[in-house]
Amino acid sequence: IFHLFLHTRKKMGLLLLLIICQCAINTIKTHSVSQPNIILLMADDLGIGDLGCYGNRTLRTPNIDRLAEEGVTLTQHIAASPLCTPSRAAFLTGRYPIRSGMASFSRVGVFLFSASSGGLPSEEITFSKLLNQKGYATALIGKWHLGMNCESSNDFCHHPLSHGFDYFYGLPVTNFRDCKPGQGSVFLKGVQKGLVIPIQITGTALVSLAIVQYIGLLKVPFQALGYFLLIITISLVVLIFFFYHFRHLNCFLMRDRQIIQQPLSYENLTQRLTKEAMQFIERNTDTPFLLVLSYLHVHTALFASEDFKGKSKHGLYGDAVEEMDWSVGQVLDVLEKCNLSDRTLVYFTSDQGAHVEEISGAGEVHGGYNGIYKGGKSTNWEGGIRVPGVLRWPGVVQPGAYIDEPTSNMDIFPTIVKLADAQLPSDRIIDGHDLLPLLQGKVTRSKHEFLFHYCNAYLNAVRWHPGNSESVWKVFFFTPNFSPEGSNGCYDSHVCFCHGGFITRHDPPLLFDLSRDPEEKVPLTPETESRFYEILRVVHQAVDNHTRSLHAVPNQLSWDNLLWKPWLQLCCSSLFQSCYCDYESGGSPLQVHFR
């Protein structure tokens, strides 16, 4: 009996130990699935055809390709806008930019100056804000491009730290050609064109006034003429001063709310951004974290460090892509070193398609490759909005899977909010859908029956994926006029515009079936598609429903909000000292190791 008692007690002890171990394992699994770390990697102006995992055979992107091999590749991943500012607003909020006022009714669809008053409204709820409330450490490293100040140079109403990020290291606006000496200007041609007519009108007015004054038909007070000339002179002086100092005023690096380098230096810039990302991960190994690493690559001005310059087969553009891929590898390596890979969802994408019109002054192609897809950045042809979408989460999402269902960069919002055990906002429409069931293979159809493609604030096209069909219909209400005619972009104006003489309206609208014609080569007609009018009827009904869901909001990209306001200008010294400082170069050497 005694031996039987000991044997039974031993078995019970083992059983209890197994139960405790299983509970611990289940707890770890539940924690990793319910509150994983989130790393969101966003390239700038990267073409879907620039990556090996999307078919490129000449650019070397082994680390991004490794993400795809170990995760899911989305082959119909759609940016909510083909321009930086509205696309990033949609990404952060899960909502079409038209809902937040981040879609322009004018020609200019993005913020151009650090001292503009527009930006992502404080009323908008970002995924960073919701995750921060759930105890996540949150950081944005790299490009912001969603505004800075509202009424004073230190209110920081649109700053990343006002939208749920604990830490910011990066550029408040974007990477311009004007930021890098010798790379040309994105403004000069536009300014020259824009000033021709005002100067002609002013000159004609002054000559006419002088003539009528001389012949005695009209007496114009000399004081009025003096004021008029003074205003013109001051305006020209301010304009010349601004563009002469553009680099200092708009191209600077910040840490949180402090400027640490003005103007920005491109020396080892990707290494500095990567180091910041790695250090953030290492600081938060015991805390769930959200890291948004928003690369400056491959927006112009192109740049690459000495370790990558001249190493690719595609000039400086290829060098920049391969340097960005190295950075992705560094991030993945630090996850492995910290044993965080299995507890971290990693997502890689681009804010929109490649800027095909980007050509340097020397004639070198500085824009990317959109594969088989038509058009590029600033257009809603597939080349402008179909972007890379790669997600890896070992043990949770299917490794090596391809999903050819319509998905959106707005889907990241509900996906990670749910994973963080946070509540989706109930007081507003969220246009994105949770991706996890699709990524895990629990469902095979996207929840996006319709996707609405805006060109700035104008509804340009609609995508319809019927639930009972493999077809993906795409309807265009207008298309941009490519220039020169027959080209694949708007080379004469550098980007395509959304209204007036820059577009051609279509009645009836153009219709494509992307499942059969992903290159959008041959529009369907009533003769070639028997359901032509039925498809248009369904799409028009969807547009009506969508339009009724929109509400009037302040336009953040109005001319008033876009223009440079001197009183909002951030400056680490003073305007009279050309806003110069450099707290980066004086620090310790960068400890970043190349692979």
Catalytic residue positions?
Answer: 84, 145
Q: Report the distance separating Cα 389 and Cα 348, nearest Å.
A: 6
d(CA 463, CA 451): 5
Whether residue 341 contacts residue 333, with contact meaning beta carbons closer than 8 Å, is answered with: no
Q: In whole angstroms, give the CA distance from residue 328 to residue 163.
A: 25
Length of the chain as a residue count: 595
Cβ neighbour number for residue 446 with a 10 Å cutoff? 22
Whether residue 319 contacts residue 308, with contact meaning beta carbons closer than 8 Å, is answered with: yes
Q: Is residue 453 within 8 Å of residue 133, measured between CB atoms? A: no
DSSP 449: S
Q: What does the alpha-carbon distance between residue 527 and residue 538 come to, in Å, rounded to a whole number? A: 19
Q: Give the helix ranges, DSSP H, for 529-575.
A: 532-548, 559-562
- From the centroid of its chain, how far is CA 487? 26
Sign of CA dihedral 247, 250, 256, 257: positive
CB 387 within 8 A of CB 46: yes
Instruction: Name the token pair of 487.
Output: 């080209």
Tell me which amino acid residue 323 is: E
3-state secondary structure 196-220: HHHHHHHHHHHHHHHHHHHHCCCCC
Sequence-ordered alpha helix ranges (H) in 403-525: 412-419, 436-439
User: Among candidates 390, 388, 319, 312, which has minimal Cα distance to 353?
Assistant: 388
Dist CA 250 CA 113 (whole Å): 6
Contact criterion met (CB below 8 Å) for 360 and 366: yes
Query: Cα(159)–Cα(176) distance, rounded to whole angstroms?
Result: 20
DSSP 8-state code for residue 76: S
Pick the closest to residue 298 from 346, 388, 367, 369 (CA basis): 367
CA–CA distance, 194 with 199 (Å, rounded to integer): 9
Residues 280 and 128 sit within 8 Å (Cβ to Cβ): no
Map residue 500 onto helix, strand or coil.
Answer: helix
Q: Is the peptide bond before 301 cis (omega within 30 degrees of 0)?
A: yes
- Choose among 52, 294, 60: nearest CA to 173: 294
| DSSP element (H, E) containing 270 | helix 269-283
Instruction: Tell me the C-alpha distance between 19 and 45, whole Å.
Output: 52
Answer yes or no: are the C-beta atoms of 37 and 340 closer than 8 Å: yes
* The two structure tokens encoding residue 267: 């020396």
Reading the block at residue 18, the tokens are 């197994």
Radius of gyration of the chain (CA): 27
Contact 407, 448 (CB under 8 A): yes
